[in-house]
Structure 1
């Protein structure tokens, strides 16, 4: 078995494509990709924050005070064209045509409503909310609320309420938020769910490429028959191939995590991620070991599956076609783990992959239940063992080997 393992490892190390996907891609490409995405996201957000929106205020003469507030706001500038957009439909058409970014319609009855003192006034804000980052409505809402506060204050004074009593009248009860969660728990809840999205697919990727070559690749090259003629049992042969795939799978995850840790440390050294690094500083080496230990049975499961698929496939291309649906099936339980009200308990601890995803999030948060982790190890080990046994029996069938 170990002779087969060493032989397959040597061949694996000679394969530049596999080395690229298992080592080079995690070390260089993924960190650069994440950094690029972060840069583009921050750049897009910054541009959206700095954007000056073109507005049109319908019936502006009815509220000259608000018109002045809007005119002198740094994030808005008035429409300079000659067209008039005095109705909601006209404002909609102007926004759709790109002539303005936002339109505000002050109702024609605004004067009489204000004079009525006790009537509620309805303004319409017309804009396109389909853009991914759009601050126009929040900015206008804040400005209108400020203007509304002025009207409210005037009405309260007219009713005989002194200005110093307005806050107590408008908001008799204030709420002070007292959060029992520390930084690690808060960031762990938000970011901890993303860690399985990175680690588990990498475990699968690290297993897929060598598995395709060690199964379907051997068939296509005609070297599988030569291996079967050697004085090695089929069980030893499949276990040797399995250990090679497992080593590649774990190496891919380890290289990626190490690479990301180095890049995060570099970013932290220049003060880019100080807040997050400070929050995760309490994640101990033991926690990382526990995450790695949880990934081991997952790696065994996935390595057994991809090897069984590769052995079944006739050609390298056919094996690649089978790996696509498997990747989607792996993502489903990870998605389940981030659904609302999903938590690690005695029930979810038995759901494959979902249990590991939930446990990793709880470890990052620092709230992991170690008894539930024990159940995960039992459930994962049983399934991993069953899949490995299936793979061995699968490899023993002539109808599978010589399709």
Structure 2
């Protein structure tokens, strides 16, 4: 068995395309892609904040101070329109036609005397599907005016500062969070890591799996292997271990690469949150997170090997394997549903229990007793799938279909 395993690994390493997908993509291309996405997102947000927007005002005569403050903003340009933009439909049409980016409609009861004017409804007509932060820019100005008017109204009524606070917020809810920084950060990051690990394990194992089974059929080397004095169970186990090794290697290299790039970027950008979060995770939890790859790759390797053995050609095998991506995402999505925890029946559902366990390990709230259920269910599933592979491999009609 180990001789075949060594042979398969050597063939795997000699295949430049496979090595590229296993090493080059995780180390260089994936971090560049995700880093580029983050960079572009930040640039878009920054541009949305600084971009000069054209706007028009309806009811300027009711709020000349507000209009003056809006005009004084460097990134806002006042445009005069011939249409009657006090009508909401005309205002919507002007924005849709691109005449202006947004329109501010000032009501007739606008004024600085809160007691007499009552509540003021200031309307902003804009295309909210565009990233331009128009509403937040207007809100920055109105917040200052609102606070000034409130203080003036309270002063005229003779209300002291403590009573003012009580009137504005009669009931103040103060949150006392028992979760530490690691648990809070882990609740967010912990949902992303299983998704990445599952996809990488599967993608890293798919190419070797298609080549080990269906590829050997096309090359005509499968018959030679079957004529050797080696039990077919050992042949299946060797191929199974090769696929599992490829999937685990890809996932490990990618996670290590992301961690290295992330810590490097955090140190250069002086981001202490990420480094403190990584330092808070115990080495035992790190080891257990990596051990969670064992049930994942075992399940994937067994399924992929069965599909590869059944397929007539390399192309057909890839056609069978590609839809598996959908089935990989489902367990991760289930693990992200609020209220689903690593308890009871969920601890025995394969893949979902691993996703939940990784999340709990990152958060630092893992119940280590549940590891029995996780590895137990995974061993049962992987063993059953592996037994099916052996059965499949012993069927001549399947091997030479």
TM-score (norm 1): 0.92
Cα RMSD for the two superposed structures: 2.3
1:110 corresponds in structure 2 to: 109
Q: 1:135, CA displacement in angstroms?
A: 2.0
1:171 corresponds in structure 2 to: 169
Q: What is the DSSP-based 3-state SS (H/G/I as helix, E as strand, rest coil) of the residue aligned with 1:54? A: strand
Which is worse superposed, 174-183 or 388-397?
A: 174-183
8 Å CA contact 2:55, 2:77 repeated in 1: yes
The number of equivalent residue pairs is: 401
> C-alpha offsets along residues 225-271 of structure 1, whole Å, 9 cap, x if unaligned?
12111111211111111111111111111111222222223223313
Which is worse superposed, 60-69 or 267-276?
A: 267-276
8 Å CA contact 1:113, 1:120 repeated in 2: no
For residues 92 and 83 of structure 1, the distance between their equivalents in structure 2, rounded to whole angstroms, comes to 11
For residues 395 and 272 of structure 1, the distance between their equivalents in structure 2, rounded to whole angstroms, comes to 55
8 Å CA contact 1:22, 1:206 repeated in 2: yes
For residues 220 and 58 of structure 1, the distance between their equivalents in structure 2, rounded to whole angstroms, comes to 74
For residues 111 and 377 of structure 1, the distance between their equivalents in structure 2, rounded to whole angstroms, comes to 67
8 Å CA contact 2:102, 2:125 repeated in 1: yes
Q: 1:84, CA displacement in angstroms?
A: 5.2
For residues 47 and 114 of structure 2, the distance between their equivalents in structure 1, rounded to whole angstroms, comes to 42
1:77 corresponds in structure 2 to: 77
Distance 1:335 1:163, change over 3 A: closer
Among 129, 141, 160, which residue is 1:143 paired with? 141
8 Å CA contact 2:114, 2:153 repeated in 1: no
1:219 to 2:217 alignment: yes
TM-score (norm 2): 0.93
Q: 1:126, CA displacement in angstroms?
A: 0.8
1:6 to 2:6 alignment: yes
8 Å CA contact 2:109, 2:117 repeated in 1: no
2:238 corresponds in structure 1 to: 240
> C-alpha offsets along residues 99-158 of structure 1, whole Å, 9 cap, x if unaligned?
211111123x42699798264332321111123x44222332343343334444444455
Among 179, 188, 191, which residue is 2:189 paired with? 191
Distance 1:112 1:237, change over 3 A: closer
Q: 1:81, CA displacement in angstroms?
A: 5.6
Q: What is the DSSP-based 3-state SS (H/G/I as helix, E as strand, rest coil) of the residue aligned with 1:110? A: coil
Distance 1:333 1:229, change over 3 A: same
1:92 to 2:92 alignment: yes
Q: 1:374, CA displacement in angstroms?
A: 2.5
Please give the residue correspondences for 1:148-159 in structure 2 after superposition, counting only pairs within 5 Å: 148-159=146-157
Q: Which runs of 5+ in 1 are unaligned?
A: none
Please give the residue correspondences for 1:4-403 in structure 2 after superposition, counting only pairs within 5 Å: 4-79=4-79, 85-107=85-107, 109-110=108-109, 117=116, 119-131=118-130, 133-159=131-157, 161=159, 165-403=163-401
